Amino acid sequence: MASSEAELRQQVAGLYVDHYSWLTGWIRRKLGDASIASDLAQDAFVSIIHTGTVAGIREPRPFLATVARRLLSHYYRREALETSYLELLAELPQEHVPPPEVRLIALQTLSAIDRALDGLPAKVKEAFLLAHLLDLKYSEIAERLNVSSSSVKQYLLRANRQCVLTLLD
């Protein structure tokens, strides 16, 4: 066991030494921000370590670019979510604006929900958000999505199940 762990460390170290600078530059060109590019490149290698996929990597740069694209997608989604939340807060009267620690918890919760809903079809996500954020009834959601109430019920079962399973991980 110890030798396979040592091999894994050596493979990750080699991959890191050989490709970290390239990956950081690739991400920086996409984002225009060296600091965030560095963080996302680190996240890519952490992801590889956690999934244990380093031994199966045949073409390192295309593989790393694929991992980085996924991380960029999550980054852009998180940025959009944060921007929307901050715009909503800006519209509130000052007395209703939550303190910074509550805002942070809200952003973390929204981000967790976004990750939990990742991969679900658009209508399933929208049904979930309409039900839980706007507190709409099945019939109202069905009308908005142009589907049946039974479809809405199935959508919500699927989204709720995925959220619970994801948040329990």
Q: Are 71 and 43 in contact (CB under 8 A)?
A: yes
What are the tens digits of pLDDT across the range 89-130? 888 888 888 898 998 898 888 888 888 888 889 899 889 988
Tokens standing for residue 5: 């762990």
Measured at the CA of 111, the angle between CA 69 and CA 31, to 5 degrees, comes to 35
Nearest to 114 by CA among 73, 66, 68: 73
What are the tens digits of pLDDT across the range 30-88? 999 999 999 999 999 988 888 877 878 889 999 999 999 999 988 988 888 888 888 88
Residue type for 38, please?
Answer: S
- The residue with tokens 């390192």 is 60
Nearest to 66 by CA among 78, 80, 51: 51
pTM equals 0.66
